[in-house]
Chains A and B, each alone.
Chain A
Amino acid sequence: MSKGKLRAIKKKVEATRNLMKITKAMEMVARAKVSKLERAFKAFKEYAEEIERMKEKILVKGIDSPLFNGVGDSVIILITSDLGLCGAYNSELLKTAEEESKRIADFKGFITIGTKGATYFKKSKFLIEAYERLYDFPTVEVSSMIVDKVMEMVRNEGVGKVKVIYSEFKNALIQRPKVINLLPLSSENADENMEFEPAIEKMIDEFVYFYLTSKLQRLMFEAKVSEYYARQNAMKNATDNANEMIRALTLEYNKARQASITQEIIEIVNGAEALKEIEEAG
């Protein structure tokens, strides 16, 4: 066994060890961030769910607006991440987005949030607007900016249906892409006896805006929580794999080292034997 091979294995172990340091750091960062984010998400969820309950009660029958009747083209808002190194998180979302866009008949285009979605659809003619590196922590400013864009499209560009694709957070191990309808708003559970102050016609635009921003912010929150968990899991796997690889390579290195030592001893012994034979003969 040559010294060259030994050195090559040693280099590989070093490289893997360095890589492991990075994946371990990424895992720890994701873990630290997710706990803070989850606390904020929990508080926000209560607020968003109350608004959702109010929306269910609002009677939207008989109001003639694309916000309720769903007449017009379809737009998909796709929430992806800004950073990679989070396993299949983005590729699953992009796949779902592709499939969904093909399924819809009057599909107009994507509004993407996050760098990964923007890069993927950059060359396709379906990219309407791309928002990149907007937030680490979803804020109402960001969600209202996007809702502004959606409302403008509803008013001026004949859009009537809006779907959101994001990563649903099931638990720490499972995050799945989910498609939900943002617009049109439905009125299935509306309460006929509900009173409004001021009258519903006066209030509805404000309420819908309020509802959409909170809903979108909630989805961005959930997507972010999913992203951090996905990254944490992906990086944990990577660290484990690196550990396993280091173990296997170290074993190989030791075997090779042992073989080369044995080889050297054999050579020395053989050399000595040969010398002895020459001396005896002489």
Chain B
Amino acid sequence: MKIKVKILTPGGKVYEKDADLVNFRTIEGAMGILPRRIPIITHLAVSDIEVVNEDRREKIKVAGGFLYCDGKVVSVVSSDAEVVN
């Protein structure tokens, strides 16, 4: 069971992939989301979102914004975001 991660900005979709775990920072501190989590809405800090899979980790920088998770999909809306290689 994986969780889908999508990151949206005013300029379009920046990122969309499946993940085992998503790590990020809210304005109050660090958090992680696993598949089948209870629905949550968080206010993101200007930070990196880390998308973790068995074989690799990817980082996406976001300029704040909000994150919504319904257990199957994690969607992030931010005024700006960029995938870090």
Contacts and interface: CB of A to CB of B under 8 A. Distances in A.
Interface of A: 40, 43-44, 46-47, 50-51, 53-54, 57-58, 140, 191, 193-198, 202-203, 206-207, 210, 214, 217
Given A54-B68, A193-B39, A210-B66, A217 B10 contact: yes
Given A50-B75, A197-B26, A210-B66, A140 B10 contact: yes
Interface string B13-50: 10000000000001110010000001111110000000
26 contacts: A40-B11, A43-B12, A43-B13, A44-B12, A46-B12, A47-B9, A47-B12, A50-B8, A50-B77, A53-B68, A54-B75, A57-B41, A194-B41, A195-B41, A196-B40, A197-B28, A197-B41, A197-B43, A198-B27, A198-B28, A198-B43, A203-B41, A203-B43, A207-B43, A214-B77, A217-B10
A198 B39 contact: no
B53 interface: no
B12 to A, nearest CB: 3
B41 A54 contact: yes
Interface residues of B, number: 22
Contacts of A197: 26, 28, 31, 40-43
Contacts of B42: 196-198
A206 B77 CA distance: 13
The main secondary structure of chain B at its interface with chain A is: strand
Given A191-B39, A198-B43, A206-B43, A57 B28 contact: no
A207 B66 contact: yes
A169 to B, nearest CB: 18
B58 to A, nearest CB: 20
Contacts of A206: 43
A51 B65 CA distance: 10
Contacts of B65: 210
Contact of A195 (B8, B27, B40, B43): B40
B71 to A, nearest CB: 11
A140 B79 contact: yes
Contacts of B79: 140
A270 B84 CA distance: 95
A58 B66 CA distance: 12
